[in-house]
Amino acid sequence: MLLIYTVAAATAATIISILLAAAVSLGPLTRFVDRLVSFSAGMLLGTALLHLLPESIHLGGEIHGVSLAMLLGLVGFFVLERLAILRHNHHHEHDGHDHPHGHDAASAGRGGWALLGGSFIHLLADGVLIAAAFQAGTLLGLLTALAIATHEIPQQISNFVVLLNSGFSRAKALLFNLLTGCGALLGAVVAFFYLAQSAAWVPYLLVVAAANFIYIALSDLIPQLHAQAHDHHGGLGAAAWQQPALMLIGIAVAGLAANVLHAH
């Protein structure tokens, strides 16, 4: 039953997120994504600091090992991003069907395939982290999948637009995004069976998941929120209170889930 939950959560967090992202990117709801980024930042930070780290220690993670795993995780994600293996870019370009031609088209096309390769590895890692969270508890697994989904929807919208601007048709962009989403299912299934036999790794994988969430929130989402705020006629305006409010709501959702988790 736990395997079914793990696969279902990985599917919901990635495949369904990709479908939702494709639908939103084609309609008038694109503006809603900016608000989702604020909520996602709070959700990721709340899940990492209120759930994953405490649970890793509760499961027997030695404090120095936990600290080292966090440090290596943060540095590792930075290095992977520098190598373009992970691409966290939520700056949404509106698709004006401005597709490049000639040499530019070839370069853009290669960029689209590179994006898909990086996305597959990213989602493979997400699947591993979801499986590790489910090994620690069903509710923690569900919360981790939800946190990943709130991040994946704006990420996949960005991917979809980049692929369109790289010369992909809408159908081809959606198809290949869905294929990369299978990376999460592969990662979840392989990690599930491995961790079932090697439970000692679970606390430290939870720390890596926390490092991933913290890195995404602080290096990607929050800087984007600053950029969004100043995009509006050079001033903060409503974003000055909307962004912190939505971030606090995301943290509150994670906090309420913490109470449910600890009650079981």
pLDDT of residue 44: 93
* pLDDT for position 236: 57
What's the confidence (pLDDT) of residue 224?
A: 83
CB atoms within 10 A of CB 2: 14
If you write DSSP's letter for every residue of the chain in order, what string do you get?
Answer: -HHHHHHHHHHIIIIIHHHHHHHHHTSTTHHHHHHHHHHHHHHHHHHIIIIIHHHHHHTT--HHHHHHHHHHHHHHHHHHHHTTSS-----PPP-------HHHHHHHHHHHHHHHHHHHHHHHHHHHHHHHHHHH-HHHHHHHHHHHHHHHHHHHHHHHHHHHHTT--HHHHHHHHHHHHHHHHHHHHHHHHHHHH-GGGHHHHHHHHHHHHHHHIIIIIHHHHHHHHHHTTTS-TTHHHHHHHHHHHHHHHHHHHHHHHHH-
pLDDT value of residue 207: 96
Residue 31 is predicted with a pLDDT of 65
CA angle 136/139/145 to nearest 5° reads 90
Q: Whole-angstrom Cα distance, residue 151 to residue 44?
A: 8
User: What's the average pLDDT block by block, 10 residues per block, for the chain (264 residues)?
Assistant: 94 89 70 80 93 92 93 92 61 47 47 82 93 93 93 85 85 92 95 93 94 92 80 60 91 83 61
Domain boundary assignment for the chain? 2-263
